[in-house]
Every structure is written in structure tokens, then in C-alpha cells.
Chains A and B, each alone.
Chain A
């Protein structure tokens, strides 16, 4: 049995990583909440963002935290364009077609990364890599603490944007009642592309925040896509506070899974959590019953 301090440190590390996961999952839940589509390309797009941050760090020596304000808008444009020109036209609004279209996008992106970067895993070292923050009995990696803090600030601003601005209101209107929104002069397709872009922009930020403590490889998205869906399903598809809490729970489950089950068996905690939630409480912690299975 690992000692108390190791468990506590692992718990805290899980909470911190979970905070960044939550930011990425917010993007997924926003896309679901507004467009009612399951964005299977979420993992692959996170991988793209991580390569973007890796590229800037390795070739231009830019710290991922500095790169974040660049990568995030680039990912927004990528997401916006992807919806506008690929996912929207390809799927014509049918559920199964959208699911398959986002699967197609993720297969293309993953293999494009394989073509460009080969299969090697890559990581970076930043100025903060070996710095630890002492918090009572806990030793926490400083870069993780900063990442989680930035993620929370960004999550709060995303919430404020959706809740308080008129554009945010228009997005919510389209999510609730597309026909009604059209009647008052909102163009749903425009809001859909915007919401998809914002959802992918959150991946841009999350990619920059994850890179200091994670490896990036063409298949990193494959692992992440289940993590993101577990978080969102756990919290309830479309629920904002649900994604935050789900992120922390999944971060902790992953961290404790690794500690108690070992490196190779640890990741099973994610898939098992996901399966259990869907079978036992498909609407998640915060979702309304009857929302699952679309």
C-alpha cells in the first residue's frame, strides 16, 4: 500500500491535470450542447494543438504558456473552417453522418501527423520543468499548478462569454430553439460554426497547458478522446459545471488508477468509468434524464 503522502500527492496531481482536462471537455460539451453533435475528432484536434505548441517550443523556443494566446485563435479558425467546409456540408445534419464525418476527420488528422512527424513521441522541457511547489506536506510540479490555474481562468471566461455577451446569448438561443432564433434574425449556421470554433479553441489552450507534462505523438488523441467523453458523459452532456467536476473526477481516477493498478493497467480506470456511467446513469451527474442516446 502506498503511503499517505504519495496518495495525497497523486490525488492533488490528478486534480490539477483534471482541471486542464475540464477545459478541453468544456469545448466538447459546448459543441454537444449547441450543435447536438458528438465531436469524435476532439482527441485528434487536441493532438494538433499539442503539436502546434511543441513546434513553437522546439523551433522558436516559445514557452507553451506564451504560445497559448497564439495557438488558441489558430485552433479557433481551424475549428470554424472545419465545421464550415467539412463537417457541416458532409453531414447535412444527420446524426450518424456527423459521427462518421468527425471520425473521418480524426483519421485524416492522425495519419497526417504520422506522415509529418513519424510515430515518435515527443516532449519538451520548459523553464518550469523541474520546479516544485511546496504546499504543506505536498510537493507539486509548478507547471501543473500554473496550467490548472490558467485553465480555470479560461473556463471562467468561457462561461462569462456564453452567459453574459450578446453573442453568447445568440449561441444559447440557437442551442435551445434554432427556428425561433432564426425568426429573430440569428443565423443558426453561423452560430454553429462559431460554437464549433470556440469548442476547438479550448483545445488549443488545453494543448498548450498539457504539453509541459505530457508526451505528444500522432496517436495521443486516441487516448484522449475517451478521456474527454468520459468527463463529459460523467458530468452530463452539455452541462458546464458537470464538465468541470467530471474533469477533476477523471483526473483523479486516472492518477489513482496509475498509482494502485500500475502503469500498464492504470488506464483501464478511464474506460471502465465511462462504460459504467453510460450503463448506470447515462444522463450523467448533472444531465437531465432522457438526454442520452441521441
Chain B
């Protein structure tokens, strides 16, 4: 019932003629999708990543390079980006979890990976180095470029649906139960015969694949990508913030978190346009949520934290 109502509410922007409002809705839904993708590993699996933008940037570059250098259709770029993002997540997970990196160390390694990728993208010819890559303007379904923002919104909505489906699966499946078990205690989970490294690696790969799709949507919307956009630490913070505000490891948390974050940040932006003020709210919100509502807003609404 709740899913149906939220689903219907999310369709409303498709009927809104003001492109500006639809753009705001698109940004919010994209944030929610990326936050949910982070949540799959960071919330359900307890793997706090500070560098999830690595997957986002990889996805964006795969799609852009595919179109510019290999004439690859963005429709093929989508699965390819997911594949690359998933592979990157698997490689990162296999290496980090085999070395038993957890907590802060894992967070720092993800940050270092994102930073290494940023430096690499800044130096290679194929990524256009610091100049970045500009897609040719070719509006239409064939090139996945939409003049009407409502179609971009629809694409973001579909990505949100995918990530929500994945999160819902984690809430119900045996795999999700294993993931939750090792989040609470790796020692206990491994004593029960759960292959800790393998389960965590799979979760990170899934999260990476979906995050990479977000990168493709970005590049198809703005037709431009450069290293500081693709691998901006601020986007990593936004992803974890969206999940934490709403409630890490919950199904509805990221959607709730994205709404709150965008109302607060965009509202601040409207009131004070000076650069820095709106992103400063990210830090303030993060401190407030950690201090006052460590389990997120979802823990308020539903009383007890549900394992879904």
C-alpha cells in the first residue's frame, strides 16, 4: 500500500510542465537512487564507503568514451557501465575484504581509490584529461538524450526503481540475511559458515554496478564530464548522507533522505546563493543526524527499526 502511494506520488512530476521543477525532482530522485545504491553496501552491509563516487565516475566515463571513441550506442553503454562498475566493486571488495579492511580503513581505501581514479582521469588522453569529454548533441531516444526534462526524470525514476528492487531483495532474501548477519558480527557470521569475503564482495559489486548507472544518467543529461565532476568527493558524501538521513539499511531511508537533503540544501541555495553555504548544510545535517538520530528518520516514523 505504502509502495503504491509513493509510486504514484513519484509519477506526479511527469505531469508538471515547468522544466525547472522537473529538474529539481530529477535531481532528488537521482540522489535517492545513488543513496540507495550506497545503502546496499553501506547500509545493509555496514561497509561505510567514503569513495562511492568512484563507481559513478567510472560509469560516466565508460558511457562517454564508448560514444566518442568507439561509436557505441548509449543503450549499450548502460549495461557496459554497470558491468565495469560491478567489476570495480568486485575487485575493490575482493582486495579490501581479503585484507580484512573494515570500518575507517575501508572508508579511507575507497576514498583513495576515487582519488586515484580522479588523478588518472585528469592525466589520460582517452578521458580528455582536465578538459573533460563533451558528447555531441543529438536529442532523441536513439542517443538517450532528452530535451524534455520529464524524460530524464523518468530515466532517473527507473534507476531508483532498480535500486529499490535490489534493496527490497536484500530485505527478503537469504543473501540479504547473510549480509545483515555479518554486518552485526563478522565473527558470528563466519562461525555460522557464511563466507564473509564473498558475501561482502557481491554486495559491493551490486552497489557499484547500480552507482555506475547513475554516472551514465548524469553524462546523458549534461552531455559533459570532467575529472572533478566525475570523481568529486562531495558526491560520495551526498550518497552516504542521503542513506544516513533516511536510515541506513532501510528500504525507504534513501528516498526520505534525498527529499530532506534536497529541501534543506535547495532551500538554503534559494535563500543564500553564495557558494559554499548550501554544501555546508550537508556537513551540518550529517552532524545533526549522527548526534540526534543515528538510525535516521525512518526510525522515527516506524517506531522500531524494521529489517527491510
- Name the residue of chain B whose CB is nearest to the CB of A87: B287
Whole-angstrom distance between the alpha carbons of A202 and B286 in the complex?
26
Provide the residues of chain B in CB contact with A96, threshold 8 Å. Answer: 48, 103
Whole-angstrom distance between the alpha carbons of A48 and B291 in the complex?
24
Given contacts A99-B48, A275-B112, contact A91 B104 (CB under 8 A): no
Count how many pairs of residues, one from A and one from B, have CB atoms less than 8 Å apart in the complex.
Answer: 144
Tell me if B27 is interfacial: C-beta within 8 Å of chain A.
no
Chain B contacts with A in 270-304, Cβ cutoff 8 A:
274-277, 279-280, 282-284, 286-287, 290-291, 294
Q: Are B103 and A274 in contact (CB under 8 A)?
A: no
Of the candidates B102, B240, B282, the one whose C-beta lies within 8 Å of that of A293 is B102
Of the candidates B50, B111, B279, the one whose C-beta lies within 8 Å of that of A111 is B279
Q: Size band of the A side of the interface?
A: 35 or more
Whole-angstrom distance between the alpha carbons of A288 and B294 in the complex?
32
Whole-angstrom distance between the alpha carbons of A209 and B102 in the complex?
34
Q: Are B108 and A229 in contact (CB under 8 A)?
A: yes
Given contacts A101-B290, A108-B287, contact A265 B119 (CB under 8 A): yes
Whole-angstrom distance between the alpha carbons of A267 and B123 in the complex?
11
Given contacts A96-B48, A119-B275, A272-B116, contact A104 B107 (CB under 8 A): no
Q: Are A107 and B283 in contact (CB under 8 A)?
A: yes
Given contacts A97-B290, A100-B290, A229-B108, contact A292 B100 (CB under 8 A): yes
Q: Are A279 and B100 in contact (CB under 8 A)?
A: no
Q: Are A226 and B103 in contact (CB under 8 A)?
A: no
Whole-angstrom distance between the alpha carbons of A49 and B308 in the complex?
45
Q: Is the interface of A mostly helix, strand, loop or mixed?
A: helix
Given contacts A222-B233, A271-B112, A278-B109, contact A108 B99 (CB under 8 A): no
Given contacts A119-B275, A279-B95, contact A101 B287 (CB under 8 A): yes
Given contacts A108-B287, A279-B95, contact A115 B277 (CB under 8 A): yes
Whole-angstrom distance between the alpha carbons of A143 and B112 in the complex?
30
Of the candidates B95, B105, B122, the one whose C-beta lies within 8 Å of that of A292 is B105
Given contacts A106-B283, A282-B105, contact A271 B116 (CB under 8 A): yes
Whole-angstrom distance between the alpha carbons of A153 and B215 in the complex?
48
Q: Are B290 and A264 in contact (CB under 8 A)?
A: no
Q: Are A282 and B100 in contact (CB under 8 A)?
A: yes
- Name the residue of chain B whose CB is nearest to the CB of A229: B108
Provide the residues of chain A in CB contact with B100, threshold 8 Å. Answer: 282, 292-293
A225, A267, A293 — most chain B CB neighbours (10 Å): A293
Chain A contacts with B in 254-294, Cβ cutoff 8 A:
262, 264-265, 267-268, 271-272, 274-275, 278-280, 282, 292-294
Binary contact readout A90-104 vs B (1 if CB under 8 angstroms, 0 otherwise): 110011110111011
Chain B contacts with A in 101-135, Cβ cutoff 8 A:
101-109, 111-113, 115-116, 119-120, 122-123, 129-130
Whole-angstrom distance between the alpha carbons of A96 and B233 in the complex?
19
Given contacts A38-B104, A292-B100, contact A100 B284 (CB under 8 A): no
Q: Are A294 and B104 in contact (CB under 8 A)?
A: yes
- Least CB distance from B71 to A in Å reads 28
CB within 8 Å of A: which residues of B? 48, 50, 95-96, 99-109, 111-113, 115-116, 119-120, 122-123, 129-130, 233, 237, 240, 244, 274-277, 279-280, 282-284, 286-287, 290-291, 294
24 contacts between A and B (CB under 8 A): A40-B104, A90-B287, A96-B48, A97-B290, A99-B48, A99-B104, A100-B240, A100-B286, A101-B290, A105-B283, A107-B237, A107-B282, A107-B286, A109-B283, A111-B277, A118-B275, A225-B111, A226-B111, A226-B112, A264-B130, A278-B105, A279-B109, A292-B100, A293-B103
